[in-house]
Amino acid sequence: MISKSRKIIELLAGDAQADKVVPPTGFTASLTLFSSAAMAFLAVFALALSLATGRLADRWGDELARSSTLRISAPSDQMAAQTAAALNVLNTTKGVATARALDDAEQRALLEPWFGPDLPVETLPIPQLIEVIEDTGGFDADGLRLRLAAEVPGAVLDDHTRWRRPLIHAATRLRLLGWVSLALIGTATAAMITLAANAALAANTQVIAVLRLVGARDTYIARAFVRRFTLRALVGAAFGVVLGTAAILLLPSADTGGGFLTGLGFRGQHWLWPLVIPPLAAIVAFIATRAAARRTLKDLT
């Protein structure tokens, strides 16, 4: 990869003499620039999707893995005693960092999406919830359940495994989808540049024949085309990245919207990732055009 990158840099540095040899081709130039810009624009979004879902998966995994909920269902006259007993069990369990019973306001907030505000939770026979935060070592859920069954009969421990797993699975799949999209964008870019390069090579068959006649080697001829398409892909992709990044910046922020889609974007060092797209597009164009040129030249004397 390093030697390929060096070749590309040497190629882009150029040879003013060699550049003159192939006549300018407006159609393929515009096609390559446009497709490269469009693909880079899409690549920015695919990249943002991958990174955002990656962050989401990490956050869900991290937050949910460290918290559990204990639900106590008991008659109202026993609720306080069972809550105290449960807290006692939890506070003496190895691996539990903190255990805290949710107050009425917090329980009301949890029910608010279904029952609306100002729900009189104190008058309703609803279970008491206790938030359990693990330390880094975590606790033995099965052992804790056995202790609770003996000391707090109305307690049910939910360590979130049941619904954490599909969430993380979904986020991981979304991240994978983002990377697959990036791969498809790269392949589509290569296909389009190959088509444009083939068109340019076909349009310049006579030029190639003259160059062969006067002693040009295949590498010299290929280089003239490869340089042109690599530069166009680089410039087009740079343009697409600028537009794509600007579009990402214009998306509503996560704080105001609060939903998943509004979190689509880059954070911190991730803003540097789009800068990788133009050089990658140039590498794809370099490889695609060189392969196309080699195929075409092989058939000419």
User: Which residue's CB is nearer to another protein, number 121 or number 291?
Assistant: 291
User: Which residue's CB is nearer to another protein, number 157 or number 222?
Assistant: 222
Tell me if 90 sits within 8 A of 132, measured CB to CB.
yes
Q: Give me 229's structure tokens.
A: 């398409």
By the rule CB under 8 A, 207 interacts with another protein: yes
One of 216, 226, 233, 241 touching another protein (CB under 8 A): 216
Q: Give me 298's structure tokens.
A: 């092989």
Amino acid in the structure at residue 222? A
Please state the closest distance from residue 57 (CB atom) to another protein, in A: 52
Amino acid in the structure at residue 152? V
Treating both helix axes as pointing N-terminal to C-terminal, what angle do 76-91 and 141-151 enclose, rounded to 10 degrees? 140
**Of 57-65, 84-92, 206-214, 228-236, which segment contacts another protein by CB under 8 A?**
206-214
By the rule CB under 8 A, 21 interacts with another protein: yes
By the rule CB under 8 A, 213 interacts with another protein: yes
Which of positions 56-85 make contact with another protein (CB under 8 A)? none
By the rule CB under 8 A, 131 interacts with another protein: no
User: Which residue's CB is nearer to another protein, number 97 or number 207?
Assistant: 207
One of 4, 20, 165, 267 touching another protein (CB under 8 A): 20
User: Which residue's CB is nearer to another protein, number 164 or number 212?
Assistant: 212
If binding means CB under 8 A, how many residues of this protein chain bind another protein? 21
By the rule CB under 8 A, 18 interacts with another protein: yes
User: Which residue's CB is nearer to another protein, number 131 or number 218?
Assistant: 218
* CA atoms within a 13 Å half-sphere pointing along the CA-CB vector of 127: 12
Dist. CA 262–CA 278, nearest whole Å: 26
Dist. CA 169–CA 21, nearest whole Å: 55
- Residues 241-280: x/- map of binding to another protein (CB under 8 A)? ----------------------------------------
One of 17, 92, 136, 256 touching another protein (CB under 8 A): 17
Please state the closest distance from residue 19 (CB atom) to another protein, in A: 10
Binding site for another protein (CB under 8 A): 17-18, 20-21, 23, 206-207, 209-220, 297, 301
